[in-house]
């Protein structure tokens, strides 16, 4: 009897051990070999710490999360991944995180201190800023569809590979200093790739991007191991200098459709770059050079480039006849995808009707040259609907010759002409603007100017050696010398903005020199204003904006400086080395230029006005088109001195001179133009 019980007990024990072994074998088939895995469903944001528990917190290496997580959850996740909210090391071992079925919810604790305490903000599909900065995560699975990957989201992490979700915006510095990152899988459609995303990612060798809306200035900068960039889909727009300081970059290829580009340099400071190939279809581009890339002599054009800024560097063919039927069909498919799909075209077109109008017009030219008049008319109508208005050019454009005599073509020409008169005849818009507002009240504020004895302005005068730059001679000659010096010293870069530095003349100048970059018109005007103030000449940076400033962000900032010799304000524009006189050579201020444009009286632009010594400016373009558009609203600081325009500062001190009954972009001036142009108190 005892023997039977013994064998029965032994059998039960063996079965238990076999069952345990089977469970372990089954678990090992799915669990990671060197860690613990778990899946968690978060039904209420902020409960992840409770669901995981302190006992498991530092043991799990692989985690899958389903549900909405907030700042408290993210703070806990960071601790699991080896870095706490203060960015100090923890004992957490989490290296793999699956968020494919997770979303983000506002609320909860701050999850990281980076410059300030960061909290979850944005939508459910926005990965918060600095979410996994300094964490030991090696792999992460993001949702298939996301709106945004936040600033520095994976900065200085152990990430080895990443798949970027569809239709997302990847903001700047997201993968900065990810030294283990070797593979990036881009989606079929990416909205934007911000600046410096892969900076110091030394193991990343290849970037292959498909359809992408926007590549900004310095999108790829200091990517030490990067050898090639391939864009094989549609590139809606790339800024100039979108590649910078990549020491091992050897080739860039554009094998898809290129719609528009920014200024001339494609790349800068890439000593191994020897091949830039355009193997797709490229519409007129402003690309036309490289900087400090000694091996690059000429681009390789194996596809079709409609027009480039420099045909010696990017040879282009004006004839479309060599475009194959297959390539034309591929182009047609891409164009229909773009113009017929609101989820794509409308987002890109929201603030780019001008670009899309020209894009559609050039498309019409391609199909007209390939003797497909119906397709040409289709895209010409799309161009008109986007506001294309160059009717005089269209009438004589030989590319559209197959449409001449067509009734629909003539109808579209008339519509273009009407568009021009109502939307883009800037002289007419200025001439029909209402008068300025009522006369000044008795308590109207007074514009003020820091004296040259101000310690900061004395520092400006000494730092730049302004007396040497201005030299001898009359006052106006000295003013012009300083303006010309700044124009030559810092190039105008409309797409580059203002560097991340204090907004004063010395710091902006030093940042531009250190980064080998330029300034936009606002930055140049702010610098010039301080140079003039340091010399004892009252000055304002004057923002000039169009009537439709809400939908037309293109504006211009110039300077007005007080001449004691002439007893009046005068116009100085460092972006274009420009000033304006009447027919007798008397310098004018912006208000006088505006009134003369309205009255049709003579205006004279200096002959050497230019853009970066590359493009000469003419009175017809600079004054009668560009500035006629931008002289509708005029705005300036009430108090003018050193460092008045800092990032994030309010515009409480900013006033706009506006036609009566209009809605100015800033605080309305309490008076008419007589108040706005008041002479400085001596």
pLDDT at 350 over 90: no
pLDDT in tens, 520-542: 999 999 999 999 999 999 999 99
pLDDT digit string (tens) for 111-136? Answer: 999 999 999 988 999 999 999 999 99
pLDDT of 262-303, one tens digit each? 888 999 999 999 999 999 888 888 898 999 999 999 999 988
**Residue 48: pLDDT band with limits 50, 70, 90:** very high
Of 73-77, 82-86, 257-261, the least confident: 257-261
Please tell me the pTM assigned to this model: 0.61
For CA atoms 376, 379, 385, 386, the dihedral sign is negative
In angstroms, the Cα distances linking 648 to 119, 219, 500 are 19, 23, 12
Residue 2's pLDDT band (cuts 50, 70, 90): very low
Instruction: Give the pLDDT score at 1.
Output: 40
Report the candidate in 433, 417, 577, 616 with the shortest Cα–Cα distance to residue 492.
Answer: 577
What's the rounded mean pLDDT across residues 334-353?
Answer: 60
Q: Answer yes or no: is pLDDT of 24 > 60.
A: no
- The count of other CB atoms within 10 Å of the CB of residue 270 is 26
| Torsion sign across C-alpha atoms 418, 422, 427, 431 | positive
630, with CB counted inside 10 A (0-12, 13-18, 19+), is buried
pLDDT value for 671: 56
Q: What Cα–Cα distance (Å) separates residue 294 from each residue in 245, 250, 268, 289, 291?
A: 13, 12, 10, 12, 8
> 159 and 198 in contact (C-beta within 8 Å)?
no
CATH code for residues 444-676: 3.10.620
Confidence of residue 348 (pLDDT cuts 50, 70, 90): very low
Region 414-439: mean pLDDT is 84
Higher pLDDT, 412 or 494: 412
Helix H or strand E encompassing 357: helix 353-369
**Which residue pairs from 642-651 have beta carbons closer than 8 angstroms and sit at least 24 positions apart in sequence?**
642/450, 642/454, 642/456, 642/457, 642/460, 642/504, 642/505, 642/530, 642/533, 643/456, 643/502, 643/503, 643/504, 644/503, 644/526, 645/503, 645/522, 645/526, 645/541, 646/502, 646/503, 647/498, 647/500, 647/503
Mean pLDDT across the chain, nearest whole number? 88
- Predicted confidence band of residue 304 (pLDDT cuts 50, 70, 90): confident
CA atoms within 13 A on the CB side of 581: 10
Predicted pLDDT of residue 579: 98
| pLDDT at res. 442 | 64
């Amino acid at each position: 009897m005892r023997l039977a019980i013994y064998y029965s007990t032994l059998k039960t024990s063996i079965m238990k051990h076999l069952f345990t072994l089977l469970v372990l074998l089954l678990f090992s088939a799915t669990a990671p070999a060197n860690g613990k895995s778990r899946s968690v469903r978060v039904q209420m944001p902020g409960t992840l710490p409770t669901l995981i528990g302190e006992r498991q917190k530092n043991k799990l290496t692989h985690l899958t999360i389903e549900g909405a997580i907030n700042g408290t959850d993210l703070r806990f996740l960071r601790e699991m991944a080896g870095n706490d909210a203060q960015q100090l090391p923890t004992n957490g071992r989490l290296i793999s995180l699956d968020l494919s079925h997770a979303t983000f919810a506002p609320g909860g604790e701050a999850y990281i201190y980076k410059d300030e305490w960061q909290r979850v903000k944005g939508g459910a599909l926005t990965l918060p800023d600095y979410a996994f900065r300094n964490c030991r995560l090696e792999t992460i699975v993001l949702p298939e569809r996301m709106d945004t990957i936040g600033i520095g989201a994976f900065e200085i992490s152990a990430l080895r590979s990443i798949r970027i979700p569809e239709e997302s915006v990847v903001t700047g510095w997201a993968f900065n200093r990810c030294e283990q990152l070797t593979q990036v899988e881009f989606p079929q459609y990416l909205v934007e790739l911000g600046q410096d995303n892969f900076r110091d990612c030394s193991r990343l060798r290849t970037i292959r991007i498909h359809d992408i809306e926007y590549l900004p200035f310095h999108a790829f900068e200091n990517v030490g191991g990067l050898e090639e960039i391939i864009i094989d889909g549609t590139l809606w727009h790339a800024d100039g200098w979108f590649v910078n300081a990549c020491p091992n970059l050897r080739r860039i290829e554009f094998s898809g459709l290129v719609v528009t580009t920014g200024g001339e340099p494609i790349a800068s400071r890439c000593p191994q770059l020897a091949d830039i190939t355009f193997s797709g279809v490229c519409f007129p581009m402003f690309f036309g050079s490289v900087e400090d890339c000694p091996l690059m002599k000429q681009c390789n054009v194996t596809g079709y480039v409609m027009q480039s800024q420099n045909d010696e560097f990017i040879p282009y063919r004006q004839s479309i006849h060599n475009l194959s039927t297959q390539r034309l069909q591929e182009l047609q498919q891409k164009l229909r995808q773009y113009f017929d799909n609101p989820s794509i075209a409308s987002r890109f077109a929201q603030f780019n009707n001008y670009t899309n109008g020209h894009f559609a017009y050039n498309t019409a030219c391609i199909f007209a040259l390939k003797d497909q008049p119906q397709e040409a008319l289709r895209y010409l109508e799309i161009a008109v609907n986007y506001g294309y208005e160059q009717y005089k050019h269209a009438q004589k454009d030989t590319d559209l010759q197959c449409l001449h005599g067509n009734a629909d073509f003539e109808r579209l020409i008339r519509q273009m002409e009407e568009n021009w008169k109502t939307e883009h005849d800037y002289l007419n818009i200025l001439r029909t603007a209402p008068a300025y507002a009522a006369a000044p009240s008795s308590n109207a504020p007074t514009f003020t100017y820091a004296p040259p004895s101000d310690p900061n302005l004395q520092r400006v005068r000494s730092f730049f050696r302004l007396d040497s730059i201005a030299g001898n001679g009359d006052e106006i000659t000295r003013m012009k010398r300083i303006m010309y010096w700044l124009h030559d010293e810092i190039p105008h870069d409309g797409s580059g903005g203002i560097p991340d530095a204090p907004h004063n003349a010395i710091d902006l100048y030093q940042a531009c020199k250190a980064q080998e970059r330029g300034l936009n018109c606002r930055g140049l005007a702010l610098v010039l204003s301080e140079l003039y103030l340091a010399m004892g000449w009252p000055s304002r940076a004057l923002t000039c904006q169009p009537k439709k400033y809400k939908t037309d962000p293109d504006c211009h900032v110039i300077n007005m400086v007080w001449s004691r010799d002439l007893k009046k304000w005068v116009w100085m524009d460092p972006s274009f080395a420009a000033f304006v006189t009447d027919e007798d050579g008397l310098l004018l201020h912006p208000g006088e230029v505006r009134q003369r444009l309205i009255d049709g009286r003579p205006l004279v632009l200096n002959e050497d006005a230019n853009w970066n010594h590359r493009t000469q400016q003419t009175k017809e373009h600079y004054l009668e088109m560009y500035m006629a558009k931008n002289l509708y609203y005029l705005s300036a600081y009430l108090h003018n001195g050193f460092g008045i325009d800092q990032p994030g500062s309010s515009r409480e001190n900013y006033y706009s001179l506006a036609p009566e009954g209009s809605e100015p972009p800033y605080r309305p001036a309490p008076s008419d133009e007589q108040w706005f142009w008041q002479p400085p108190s001596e």
